[in-house]
A and B are shown apart, each in its own frame.
Chain A
């Protein structure tokens, strides 16, 4: 019974399906939109205005902003919560994120080492000839 009471409370008047699916309100869309605008504007300003001198610091900062904005979109636009579809959509999302993280970090890691081990300085030919090979289209 307590579950039913929950649905009553959050489904204020608009299309409550009793499945914990939050369809959003004007307020949640407005909050999401304003947060997104801010979280979009700051990275563009950081890059276009050359605010931080160090490139890798800028890269980490804008990736952080992107991660936060993705979470904002998930909550305010896609209405993700632990209750929707009885928790199955969150589970599918977590599974996808785990897969993406494994494949992404694995690929970058492997390819970085591959490039590193084939550095021009390793061969007897020296850097110039390998550099030419790199420049070939």
Chain B
């Protein structure tokens, strides 16, 4: 890393001719993945937008069935939100540890992040099973269909995030903080924080606004 920081100074000392190759070499390979991954996240954002719209349109069509006010357990949702928020900050700690090239600390924070992710998923599964047992499954009303589609898709994303996290921990354990692994860590970091951003929309738009009279 120090080499990269020093490079511009060297280039400056050598003159303007050396400046351009540095520019080209430095700006392309690393950026491609991160920008591409960001564009993937934006496309994912559109998927969620469509599901949010479906919920916005159908969210009050109860078909004589239970409404959000009767079904949602806000303390449980608050706990879930807390889990996801804590997992975001612990992933941040993992990133900071990886920048200081501390493999062990990185792995510990990643493991903590994974545990919070699993906590979130198990609470969500508990909620879903509870709803289905009460007869409020996805087939009950348009409201519940759009609810399960939106929250379920988010849960599925978190599930794949946890799988990715475990895979990455194995890779980090085997190969260490190589350039490729650092890049993967950054991609997963974007993915994980992005899911937290989506959850802000979910708990506000679905749960909190769903229980308003």
Contacts and interface: CB of A to CB of B under 8 A. Distances in A.
Nearest to A21: B34
B92 A85 contact: no
Contacts of B140: 137
B115 interface: no
A93 B27 CA distance: 21
6 contacts: A29-B96, A58-B212, A100-B46, A107-B53, A108-B56, A137-B63
Nearest to B7: A18
Q: Mostly helix, strand, loop or mixed at chain B's interface?
A: helix
Interface residues of A, number: 59
A62 B204 contact: yes
A11 interface: yes
Interface in A50-98: 55, 58-59, 62-63, 65-66, 69-70, 73-74, 77-78, 85-86, 88-89, 92-93, 95-96
Interface in B49-93: 49-50, 52-53, 56-57, 61, 63-65, 74-75, 78, 81-82, 85, 88-89, 92-93
A70 B63 contact: no
Contacts of A119: none
